[in-house]
Structures are given as structure tokens and as C-alpha cells.
Amino acid sequence: MKIDFSIPNFQVKENLKYDLPSGIAVFFVAVPLCLGIAHASGAPLMGGLISGVIGGVIVGLFSGSELSVTGPAAGLTAIVLSGIQTLGSYEAFLLATVLAGVFQIAFGLFRTGELASYIPNSVIKGMLSAIGLILIIKQFPHLIGYDIEEMGVEEFAINKFDINEQYTGDKDAEANTFTVFWHAVNHINKGVLITGLVSLLVLVLWDKKFQQKFKIIPGAMLVVIVGVLVSYFINNYVFVGQLATDHYVNVPKINSITGFINSTSFPKWSMLFNLDVLRIGLTIAIVASIETLLSTEAIDKLDPLKRKTNNNQELLAQGSGNILAGLLGGIPITAVIVRGSVNVSAGGKTRIASVTHGLLIIVAVMFLASIINLIPLASLAAILIYTGFKLFSPAIFVEEFKKGYNQFLPFALTVTAIVLSDLLIGVALGILLSIVIVVFEDYKVTTLRIIDYGTRKRLVLGENITFLHKKRIATLLDKIPENSVIEIDGSRTQYIDKDVQEVIINFKQHAHLKNIEVIFGKINFMDGLEKEELKENMRKSYERLFVNNQKWVDDKTMNDPEYFSRLSAGQTPQYLFIGCSDSRVPANEITGTDPGEMFVHRNIANMVVNTDVNMLSVVQYGVEVLNVKHIIVCGHYGCGGIKAAVEHKSNGLIDKWLRNIKDVYRLHKDELDAITDSDLRHRRLVEVNVKEQVINLMKTSFIQKNINTYGFPQVHGWVYDISNGKLIDLDVDINKELPDYKDIYEIDNE
């Protein structure tokens, strides 16, 4: 595992003009989020700021991601709140945070970060859209002055710790995100509204018109300055709606190291071996790691340079950060999508943006608290709302919808579930639905395929046959008719579920009741006995040919002792039969001819192809040496080659041969397409294919020469109807089928 903790100097110098403004933008957003999440977690406000610094500086330096930003996360508030209550003190909880960091380092060393690669893209896109929508919905009340909810809270349901205790304006009882959003409309503060709208307008104009020209000036900083000036002007000169202290950032003032030590807490080491501490530490580690991996995957999607996070390195950095956060009194940290999204939106390029934001938090707390507290929450809400609109776009819904239900449904469920619950629940449901869809799609694809050869059938199994295929296989096997031969082909199969194995074995054991012969082909779960049984059946079927041959010889010699002597003297066939290779169309049997009476050539779909040297050699020998009087092209209804040619499926090498049949279809397309009944269309294609092969024979020079010289052979087109055993003469007239035959194809053989 390659872990890179370095920060190349050329990257810092080259990208500082991007990272410094981006770090400032993230800083302005991070401060109120750190405070709000700490309050919602039931932890000291200083704990949120400490974690913001550690997440920015320490984790930022050693992160596996260039753009993600780490800090206190809303997704951990419930765990932190219940953890403090369970352990009885914040100091005991800090020890659990330290242990969480140790667990995370172990996760990184064991390479668990690679699990993030299995998260579906549709879920990640849904997560980003949901975060964008949450930013819009959650920050809207702050934009218009209803600051009843702490900034940074992302969960749908609201508890007492999510309520801003400093808010003094009119308020209603709040239950969830939607009630806050709805009640905000009834509690608009005009002064805050003006501040928020002006801030939003300035940010949009700056981003659209001036950001590219003045990259060194971050839009967020400009918005903050404008917000401070507008709120000051409203409070002192306009009086349309005063901005109270609860409408501003409220950073605790720490003026010295002594002041920091007095305002923070440290772990309670006496509870190191307490089982509850270990359990809560492990819970934090798991949840924080999951949120981190989700965040880095999401930020990677937003990265213009499309860099890939080293997730194992990221877990090591996160673990180190949580150890330090616990030691210094901070709450647990994770990579946070909101901060990372602001970083990307502001144009950040490297880890230095994260480090910059962390250092600025230190400076603000130690030296600039009074100035930072002049920033209206409405201006910060404008920054977050604008970021939200960049993440949440109707176009992404249209894009995912066009990809099909297997992408859109997990995406839509992820968005909905995150907005109505929290990040982890939404992502878990999205992944679960993706898995269900994958299983459903796997069930739909041609994992099982029946090839019908009449009385002989082949069941072709796919690579992975799971218990989900059990009913389908059982149904297919139950439909096998009596007196059939079924081959179960497992040559491509890598895995067969035990339930499916049982179904197949049970079918084989009872197949004799329907006189069905079962043949296994490379089925891995066959035991030695079944393999020996197969070998024995194959031996018997092979030897049966010699037994039948001896019986045939005996019958012939009994009726005519000189039969084979005459047959060995030579052949004088009157007919050349060009038929299909189908085993159901034996030339001698269907015409009632004996050996020596018919010269035979067979191929798939009885084709006469001018590049087939084999077929042409047979025809030339039959015409010029054997002097056959009749050449018969015989097709048959139900021809598998004809069917395969029009199915638009790949069959391998044979596709080159079947293309000749497609050419026949092309020549007769209008007639064939007019036939609505598929069986009748197939029968007609068999017939016109025979006619075209007769025409192809008539194009050959040696047939034309023999006809001109001797008046033979005559060329005929037949179709054999397997369903009744009858032969049908199509009465092919070359001059009628091809009126221009002589003008185009006739060869002067003189």
C-alpha cells in the first residue's frame, strides 16, 4: 500500500493563488458550522472549533484527498449526544474519540478504504444532489432571519439540541426541516432578508462576471464584507428590521494559551477499559469512516482534475485527526461534503486550501473573534445556498432518468431518503436498491437459455447460477416433453447454488418416468458415479451404431447375396442431392433410394455459395464425371439455419455462413415483411432460399456447359415438410424467376 504524506513544493507555489482564496471561503462557512454542530451534539462550543482546526490543518496535511475538507460532521451529532449521556461526562467521551481514531488507523492499515470503490455512481450523485437540496432548505430560514435552528444541522428530525438557544425572535414549535422552512416564511426579518438577498446577488454576479478576472479575491470574502456593511447600514440608518446578536456568528473569545486550556477538556483515562467507551469508540470509527469514504468519493466526482483519493491514506489521516481531537477536547471529525463542495466551488486545487481554513480558525479564535462576530448568518447562508444550487440541479435528474430505471431509482431514493432522514440511511437505502436491481437484472439476462432441436434440447447455464434461478430452472425442466433428450450444458458455469444443484439432480433421478434422457456437460457438482454413468451411456450409444450396421448388412445379404459386390463395382447415381445438414432430413430415406443411386452434399441451410470450394467440387464431379441427370436443392421447414439468420443474434463463426441467407432475405424483404404470421414467414423464407440456390447453381459455367452439350442436368427446387414427411416440388423456372438470366449470367462455352 503506497501512502504519500508529502506536499510537493511546486504544487504549493503554483496553486496558492487558488488555494488561499478557497481556504478563506471555506473558513467563513466552517466557523458557524463548527459551532452549530458542537451545540447540536451537546458538546462545548470550543470542542467544535478545536476539531475544525485539527481537521483543516492536521488531516489536511496528510489527507489522501486534495480537495476534501475535514471537520465536525452533522452525521455524528446523534452519536456524540447519546455517547456523552451514556458515559456520563464529556471527558469520558473524549477517550472514546481517541479510541475511534485508533480503530480508524487500523481500518486504513487493513485497506478497508477500498470498499468505497463499490459505491454505485447513481448513489454518489444522489448524495451530492441531496446535500445540495438540504443546503437550500436548511439555509433558507437563516437567509430571511429565522435562525431558530443551529447552522450545520442536516438531519430531518429536530431535537432540543438542534435549537439555537440564543434566538430571541418569534418562533413556533419545530419538529423537522419542513416545519422550520414553512414557519420561516411567517417570521421574516426584513433587515436579515435584505442582507441575505444582497449577499446572494453579489455572490452570483461575482461568480458569473468577475471571478475569472480577479481570481485572487474569493467571492465568499466579498460576500462577507458586503454582508457586514449592509447589516451595519440597516441597523444604524434604515431600521427596516434590526439584526440582533442571534443573527450573527458567535465565536468564543480565547486570547491566550491559558485561556484555551481553561476552556477545553481532556480525556478521562481512568475509563480506558470501560466496555461502553470501547463500544462507542468503535461506533464512531465505523460511522466516521463511512461518512469520510462517502465524502471523498463525492468530492472526487466534483474534482475538475478527476483525481482519485487514496482512501486508505485518508483513513490513516482521519484516525490521526480523531486521536488528536480527543486528546485536545474536540468532537469527532470526518471529511464533510459541504466544506469540500465549497472548496471545489471556490476553485481550490490542493490540500493547502484545507490547511489555510484551519489556520484561519486559530487566528479568528485567538485574535479576531470580535471581528468575526460581525458577520451576519444570512451572508453565510447565501454562500451555502449558492453552493447548494450548484450541487442540486434539475438537469442531473433528467440525465439520470435518461440512463434508465436502474440508475434513476437508486439516485431518486438516495436523494429522498437523505433529505427525509440522514446521510447514512439515505446512502444505505440507495445501495440496497442498487443491489436489488442488480439481482433483478441478473435474473432477467440470458443466464439460462433453452436451445430447441426438436426431440433434443439443450439447457445452457450462465456463469453464475444462484438460488434466484431455482424456480426458473425447475419450470424449464418441468416443460421438457416425454421421449426427449435434454443436455444440461455447464461449460461456462463458474458457480451453481446448492438449491439449484438439488433441482437438477432431482430432475435427473425422475427423468426416466417420462422417458427423458439427461446428459450433463461440464457440470462441476456431478460426482464420480454420474460421470461413469454418462461414459457408459456414451459407450453404448456408440457401439449401437456397429450393431445396427451388422443388422443392416445381414438383412441386405439375406435378401440379395451379391448386393455389396455390385455396390463395390462403382456408382452411377442419377441424382445430386444438395440438402441441409439437419439430421432429420436423410436424403436416401425420404426419397426411397438405395445406396449408389444418389450423390449427396449437405451443409447448413442447403446453400449454394460461389466461394464454397467443397460444394462446387461436389457439383462439378457429379456433373462432369458422374453425369447426373438431376440436381436437387432440398430445403426443409423448421430449418434452424434459416431461423438463426433472422434472429439478429451472434452465433460465432457460423454468422459468416448465415450472412448468405440474410442476402436472400434482403432480395425478398418486401414480400416477407408483408407476412404477419411468423411461422408462415419462416416457411416462405425457406422456399425463396431454395429458389435462390437453384438460381446460383444455374450461374455456374460447368452446369451451363453440360446443359448446352447434353441437355442435362435438370435443376430442381424442393422443400421437405418434416411434420408430414412429404416432399414439395417448387417447380422453379429459371426464366420466370430471373427473366434477365441469359443476358446477365449465360456463359458462351464454345
| DSSP summary character for residue 448 | E
Q: For residue range 390-409, what is the model confidence (pLDDT) as tens digits?
A: 889 888 899 999 999 999 99
* pLDDT given for residue 527 in this prediction: 52
Q: Report whether 596 contacts 572 (CB < 8 A).
A: yes
Q: What's the average model confidence in pLDDT over 324-339?
A: 94
Domain assignment of residue 710, yes or no: yes
Please tell me the distance from the alpha carbon of residue 499 to that of residue 678, in angstroms, as a whole number.
38
More confident residue, 466 or 666: 666
pLDDT at 281: 95
pLDDT at 238: 80
- pLDDT for position 45: 86
pLDDT at res. 9? 47
Residue 34 appears among annotated catalytic residues: no
Question: Is residue 750's pLDDT more than 60?
Answer: no
Active-site choice (634, 639, 682, 716): 639
Task: Select from 425, 457, 483 the last residue of a domain.
Answer: 425
Each residue's pLDDT tens digit, 565-587: 888 888 889 999 999 999 888 99
Active-site residue flag, 639: yes
Predicted local distance difference test score (pLDDT) of residue 443: 67
- Per the residue annotation, which of 142, 339, 351, 580 is the catalytic one? 580
The residue-averaged pLDDT of 617-624 equals 94
Task: Measure the CA–CA gap between 66 and 19, rounded to whole angstroms.
Answer: 11
Instruction: Return the pLDDT at 8.
Output: 45
Question: For residue 707, what are the domain limits?
Answer: 570-745
Instruction: Please name the residue ranges forming H helices in 59-169.
Output: 60-62, 77-87, 90-109, 121-144
Q: Per the residue annotation, which of 582, 634, 682, 683 is the catalytic one?
A: 582
Set 39, 357, 636, 682: catalytic member: 636
* 413 in the same domain as 452: no
The per-residue pLDDT for 225 is 93
Identify whether 534 is part of a domain. Answer: no
Asked if residues 83 and 282 have their Cβ atoms less than 8 Å apart, the reply is no
Summarised one tens digit per residue, pLDDT across range 698-723 is 999 889 999 888 889 999 999 999 98
Query: Residue 518 region, left (φ>0) first, then alpha (ψ -120 to 50), else beta?
Result: beta
* 458 lies in the same domain as 416: no
In a domain, 560, yes or no: no
Residues 321 and 459 in one domain: no
Q: pLDDT tens, 365-393?
A: 888 888 888 999 999 989 989 988 988 98
- Judgement on whether residues 400 and 505 belong to the same structural domain of the protein: no
| Residue 189, domain member (yes or no) | yes
- What the block records as the C-alpha cell of 473 is 430452472
In one-letter notation, the amino acid at residue 96 is A
Q: Is the pLDDT of residue 526 over 70?
A: no
Query: Across the chain, which distance is largest between two alpha carbons, in Å?
Result: 131
Write the DSSP symbol of residue 293.
H
| Measured distance CA(390)–CA(345) in Å, rounded | 8
Q: Are residues 583 and 661 in the same domain?
A: yes
pLDDT at 569: 85
631: CB partners within 8 A, 6+ apart: 575, 576, 578, 619, 622, 623, 697, 703, 713, 714, 715, 716
φ/ψ of 651, rounded to 5, equals -120, 10
Does residue 525 carry a pLDDT above 70? no
| In a shared domain, residues 394 and 465 | no
Mean pLDDT of the chain: 88
Q: Are residues 512 and 599 in the same domain?
A: no
CA dist 662 to 452, 643, 657, 659, Å? Answer: 22, 10, 10, 5
**pLDDT value, residue 464:** 80
Overall domain count for the chain = 3
Please report, for the domain that includes residue 682, its CATH number: 3.40.1050.10
Same domain? 724 vs 576:
yes
Q: Which range scores top for mean pLDDT: 1-15, 145-159, 306-320, 487-501?
A: 306-320
- The reply to whether 1 falls in a domain is no
**So what's the pLDDT on residue 4?**
55
The reported pLDDT for the residue numbered 487 is: 87
Between 121-144 and 394-402, two packed helices, what is the crossing angle to 10 degrees? 160
Q: What is the mean pLDDT of residues 532-544?
A: 81
Cα(571)–Cα(597) distance, integer angstroms: 7
Give the global pTM: 0.65
pLDDT attached to residue 530: 61
pLDDT band at 220 (very low <50, low <70, confident <90, very high): confident
Q: Give the residue from 71, 29, 22 showing the smallest Cα distance to 343.
A: 22
Same domain, 500 and 578: no
Q: Specify the pLDDT at position 1.
A: 46
Q: In sequence order, which residues have a C-beta less than 8 Å from that of residue 670 and are 6 or more positions away?
A: none
Q: Domain check: are 595 and 701 in the same one?
A: yes
The verdict on 502 and 592 lying in the same domain is: no
Q: Is 636 a catalytic residue?
A: yes
What was the pLDDT predicted at 466? 81
In the structure, what pLDDT confidence band is assigned to residue 446 with cuts at 50, 70 and 90?
A: low
For position 473, which CATH number holds?
3.30.750.24
**Quick one: cell of 448?**
439460462
Query: Does residue 580 belong to any structural domain of this protein?
Result: yes
What pLDDT was estimated at residue 424?
85
Q: Is residue 2 pLDDT above 60, yes or no?
A: no
Within-domain flag for 55: yes
Q: Is 663 an annotated catalytic residue? A: no
More confident residue, 640 or 535: 640
Catalytic residue among 584, 655, 663, 733: 584
Q: How far is CA 393 from the centre of its chain?
A: 22
Say if residue 418 is in the same domain as residue 470: no
The reply to whether 565 falls in a domain is no
pLDDT digits (tens, 9 = 90+) for 651-695: 888 889 999 999 999 999 999 999 999 899 999 999 999 999 999
